[in-house]
Chain A
Amino acid sequence: MEVTEEELTVHKIILEQGQIFVDEIKIHELIEYELPDTPWEQLQIILESLHSFGLVRKRQTHDERVLYQARTKEIAKKLQNLDEREFEIYELIENSERKGIAKSEIQKQSKIVQSIVESSLKSMQDQQLIKEVKPKNKKLYMLFDIKPVDESLSRLLYNNGEVDTIVVEALKTLCYNFIFHRSFPKDLDEDGIYHPGYTGYATLEKILQCIHESNLITDCEAQESDIQQLVDVLIYEGKVVRIFSGVIPDSDAMNIMDTNQESHVMYMARKPRAVSNAWTPTPCGRCPYFKEECTEDGEISPSNCVFYPQWLNRGISMIHEVNKSKGKGKNVMDW
């Protein structure tokens, strides 16, 4: 049995709609141009035949409408070679879409024996119909050409659904250095700053360009969204601030919609010497027993604290060293 000319035209039209399910009524409207005066019953026959060839997926909605999504010819050809059980498994995997489906789940839903499921999965993998993905050590199966949902975040920063901390840290440092070098004027005093309204600070495009030029990344392309994520992390760490600059759109001008005129975002580094606090440098600030165990006259108390003498003695030995090198001075501490 061959696919007829008419059927191919309908398939092509559904395929043009992309990876979505199309309502049969809509299909009927769409084919009006190519195949005028096709009766409704005729279309039903064509779609049924397409479904039997594996060229479309069928889905019924709760209000009894039928939706169709086209598969490509190559996949349909491969599907022709599958037996009944394999096809059932394939449909399960197909329906799981980007989330993927575990082997145990397939067994449960299709009620097929484990050995057959395994062999079917194996053969379909060989045919490159489905693939195995392992987010967090749990094997999942999904269609071969689908991007898994976890990896869809970013291929650069994630590895098997987990954040690739080494890549993140390396790129973060690179971004920070790039931003830092463009945040302060070089030919002035060490405390120098740029005048307000200065527009030479680092922007996302420039950072991306720098990363491309550094040739650090070879196996995949760095996206602007990846860099945005990294810079956001730098902002959360308090190392970088976001500033808005550029043209403020005139209220009475007509070009408010013009994107070129909009203010754009730039990034400026903060100086590393941030505000300090007085609590953490003292022994109490880092004591593991501070909160609960240490009491005024308990088993652990400031009177028999082991950390204070250590801290005080370190201070004494430090002051002795300073006195040795500088000669006797007054022991005054700055506060």
Chain B
Amino acid sequence: MAETLNRLCCYLIRDDFGPIVEQVAKVLLQKGRLTLPVIAKLSKFTLTKTRECLFILIQHNLVYWADARESQKIGIYYSIEIDEILARLNFGIYIKNANEWIESRHASELVKYILLNGKVTFGGLVEDQKINKKSSRYKDIKETFSKMIEKKYILSVDFTDSKSARDKASEAEQRELAKVTNFIPTKKQMAEAKAKLAANLDSEDTAIGSKRRLNLENLDRPTKQQKGEITIDDNQYFRVNYEKFNVKERNKRFAKFVRDRINRSAGTIIKYILDIADCDKASEVESCSISLYRILKIIPESKDELFGQQMKTEKGKTVTRESLIKQYLDHLIDDDANILCKRDENMGGMYFVRYNALCESLKQQVFENIILEKFGTKGARILKVLHTKQKLDEKAITAFTLMSVTDVRQKLIELLNAGFAQVQEVPRSGDRAPSRTFFFWYVDYNKCYEIILNNYYRTLANIHQVRFEQESGAARLLDKKEKEDALKQLNSNTFIQLLTENETKALSDLEFILTQLDTAQLRMVQDVMLFKNFK
């Protein structure tokens, strides 16, 4: 797993920042925390070059640094975050959906700009995009930007955020210990300090939602109600909050799942429910309770016709809008995929979503689909039997699946080789002779998910490698194309053609190949998000 991840991370960095930065990142990925001179030595670059590479990586939130005192001098250590690199895979999804999620037509553009630059200030953005401060576009962008801050799509960052969370924690611990004693602390003192810090962190989280929100208050940003004018600190740096986008993507995936499983109406309803719940963190287990009336209020009446068409109601009963939607909600509760849950009957019923349970059923569906595609119906049947009945021997599997013994044996071996099925031996006698041993087969879905995730990463790395291969194969063609574009830009309106007809065709084919690879990658990234980020 680690090897595959390192390979994928290197490819991602090569793709975004080129081979030189990749070399530096590779050293950090392989060796862990290092100081600048060591990195330079290992990557065989000069100090300045290495520093510049590190600067790029820090700007894009990929590298963290921390200072550590070693006797007389202070050493600065750099470390790379694999999760931050992997998050770069999701950028396509963020940019594509930003407009819809943030409900503003400039959002995609802004998100793209921020992602391209890693961290930005609003002032820098305005200057860079050459936006006239008096134009209406400036007003729109400012509004969108403040909306993104308010809804936590972007977070403010400061000097201390370049330290990794682990470093911050250990520093806080040191400070806490220094308060207690100035000698070597005992085990008990250390445990106390840790407990105190953990308690602090918890209360902080619940009280103000997130630590960074405090910084936002400092921005002296009056809300719209107070004044028509919105002010944003021009020099405050912001970065994209991946978690918020991930949660949005998860909700989208849920709605799609329900739409495919039941129908469009049910998908629409669950989408609105998830919108009301509007959770910020992927770690949340349950949504808040939502009353029936709130659901009724938010669903636009234009959808009623669709709902009516897709639900066969009981004969002889008058159908109102309320009863119709309530029936859909009941259907969602009845479904065995844990889509919706009901907490209470007051206010017409309080509904909530169990994120992790729903996520689990979605994962299960995707995984079973993979098994179906790879091992056929027979493989899927065996897997499901093993999942529902737990440990079984060959004979019992044959009886449950109604398959011949040879088929069952073959499929089980295939599943075992792929790592999905496992065998438990139970010897009947002390000598553990195979003839007197029970062999029980079983599957552990969580283990399977890990294997699947690793397969996904490997495939992503392979796709990157294929793309580099394709690009380097057509390097001459691409160079020529670049030249042509440059010439065209220099002398506009002149008819310049460097490429022959065949070359144009080859170029369009190459373009399509790259689109195909990118599409496959983006489709996979959605599944990777499901297995990795959604709990």
A residues whose Cβ falls under 8 Å from a Cβ of B: 153, 157, 162-163, 165, 168, 185, 187-189, 191-198, 229-230, 232-233, 235-238, 241, 243, 270-271, 273-282, 284-286, 290-291, 294, 296, 301-303, 305, 308, 312, 315-316, 319, 331-333, 335
Whose C-beta in chain B lies nearest to the C-beta of A232?
B400
CB-CB < 8 A to A273: which residues of B? 260
Interchain CA distance A275-B526 in the complex, whole Å: 13
The residue from A233, A279, A285, A335 contacting B381, defined by CB atoms under 8 A apart: A233
17 A–B pairs (Cβ distance < 8 Å), ordered by A? A157-B402, A168-B402, A185-B312, A192-B263, A192-B311, A194-B312, A196-B331, A236-B400, A273-B260, A274-B369, A281-B523, A296-B7, A302-B463, A319-B512, A331-B511, A331-B512, A335-B522
Known contacts A312-B516, A333-B519, A238 near B462 by CB under 8 Å: no
Interface segment, one of B132-140, B176-184, B450-458 = B450-458
A196 close to B365 (CB less than 8 A): no
CB-CB < 8 A to B263: which residues of A? 189, 191-193
The residue from B418, B462, B517, B519 contacting A294, defined by CB atoms under 8 A apart: B462
Knowing that A193-B263, A303-B466 touch, tell me 14 more A-B residue pairs with CB under 8 angstroms. A188-B311, A188-B312, A189-B310, A193-B311, A195-B331, A275-B362, A277-B370, A279-B527, A285-B455, A303-B469, A308-B466, A315-B513, A331-B511, A335-B519
User: Interface readout for B492-532 with A: 1 if CB under 8 Å, 0 if not?
Assistant: 00000000000000000101110111011011101100000
Interchain CA distance A270-B335 in the complex, whole Å: 11
Q: Does B272 contact A (CB under 8 A)?
A: no
A163 close to B313 (CB less than 8 A): no
B499 to chain A, nearest CB (A): 18
The residue from B261, B366, B462 contacting A302, defined by CB atoms under 8 A apart: B462
Q: Does B125 contact A (CB under 8 A)?
A: no
Interface hits, B260-294 → A, CB 8 Å: 260-266
Interchain CA distance A197-B311 in the complex, whole Å: 12
B182 to chain A, nearest CB (A): 52
B369 close to A316 (CB less than 8 A): no
CB-CB < 8 A to B7: which residues of A? 296
Whose C-beta in chain B lies nearest to the C-beta of A234?
B381
Q: Does B217 contact A (CB under 8 A)?
A: no
Whose C-beta in chain A lies nearest to the C-beta of B389?
A236
Interchain CA distance A195-B452 in the complex, whole Å: 37
CB-CB < 8 A to B99: which residues of A? none
B462 close to A153 (CB less than 8 A): no
User: Interface readout for B360-372 with A: 1 if CB under 8 Å, 0 if not?
Assistant: 0010011111100
Interchain CA distance A165-B265 in the complex, whole Å: 40
Q: Does B334 contact A (CB under 8 A)?
A: yes
A278 close to B312 (CB less than 8 A): no
A280 close to B462 (CB less than 8 A): no
Q: Does B327 contact A (CB under 8 A)?
A: yes
Interface hits, B297-322 → A, CB 8 Å: 309-314
CB-CB < 8 A to A276: which residues of B? 369
B385 close to A275 (CB less than 8 A): no
CB-CB < 8 A to B388: which residues of A? 236
User: Interface readout for B312-345 with A: 1 if CB under 8 Å, 0 if not?
Assistant: 1110000000000001001100101000000000
Interchain CA distance A290-B460 in the complex, whole Å: 12
Q: Does B384 contact A (CB under 8 A)?
A: yes
Interchain CA distance A291-B399 in the complex, whole Å: 32
Number of interface residues of B (CB under 8 A): 69
Interchain CA distance A285-B452 in the complex, whole Å: 10
A60 to chain B, nearest CB (A): 28
CB-CB < 8 A to B366: which residues of A? 275, 277
The 6 closest A-B pairs by CB, nearest first: A191-B263, A185-B312, A278-B523, A280-B373, A275-B365, A302-B465
The residue from A191, A192, A303, A333 contacting B465, defined by CB atoms under 8 A apart: A303
A274 close to B311 (CB less than 8 A): no
The residue from B327, B403, B461 contacting A195, defined by CB atoms under 8 A apart: B327
Whose C-beta in chain B lies nearest to the C-beta of A286?
B374
B515 close to A333 (CB less than 8 A): yes
B89 to chain A, nearest CB (A): 12
A222 to chain B, nearest CB (A): 14
Known contacts A185-B312, A279-B452, A296 near B465 by CB under 8 Å: yes
Q: Does B404 contact A (CB under 8 A)?
A: yes
A274 close to B403 (CB less than 8 A): no
The residue from A153, A235, A277, A316 contacting B373, defined by CB atoms under 8 A apart: A277
B404 close to A163 (CB less than 8 A): yes
B10 to chain A, nearest CB (A): 10
B309 close to A189 (CB less than 8 A): yes
Known contacts A168-B402, A237-B384, A191 near B368 by CB under 8 Å: no
Q: Does B401 contact A (CB under 8 A)?
A: yes
Interchain CA distance A191-B81 in the complex, whole Å: 46
CB-CB < 8 A to B418: which residues of A? 291
Q: Does B440 contact A (CB under 8 A)?
A: no
The residue from A243, A275, A291 contacting B257, defined by CB atoms under 8 A apart: A275
CB-CB < 8 A to B311: which residues of A? 188, 192-195
Q: Does B398 contact A (CB under 8 A)?
A: yes
Known contacts A189-B309, A236-B400, A279 near B455 by CB under 8 Å: yes
Known contacts A191-B264, A331-B512, A277 near B401 by CB under 8 Å: no
Known contacts A188-B312, A236-B381, A333-B519, A165 near B459 by CB under 8 Å: no
Known contacts A284-B462, A333-B516, A236 near B401 by CB under 8 Å: yes
Interchain CA distance A197-B452 in the complex, whole Å: 38
Interface hits, B140-164 → A, CB 8 Å: none
A301 close to B380 (CB less than 8 A): no
Known contacts A232-B400, A233-B401, A193 near B331 by CB under 8 Å: yes
B331 close to A236 (CB less than 8 A): no
Q: Does B377 contact A (CB under 8 A)?
A: yes
Among A197, A285, A302, A305, max chain B CB count under 10 A is at A302
Interchain CA distance A293-B168 in the complex, whole Å: 43
B370 close to A280 (CB less than 8 A): yes
Interface hits, B202-227 → A, CB 8 Å: none
Interchain CA distance A237-B402 in the complex, whole Å: 12
Interchain CA distance A189-B314 in the complex, whole Å: 16
A281 close to B404 (CB less than 8 A): no
Interchain CA distance A92-B516 in the complex, whole Å: 72
User: Interface readout for B170-196 with A: 1 if CB under 8 Å, 0 if not?
Assistant: 000000000000000000000000000
Known contacts A195-B312, A279-B370, A296-B465, A153 near B260 by CB under 8 Å: no
B402 close to A163 (CB less than 8 A): yes
Known contacts A285-B374, A331-B515, A191 near B265 by CB under 8 Å: yes
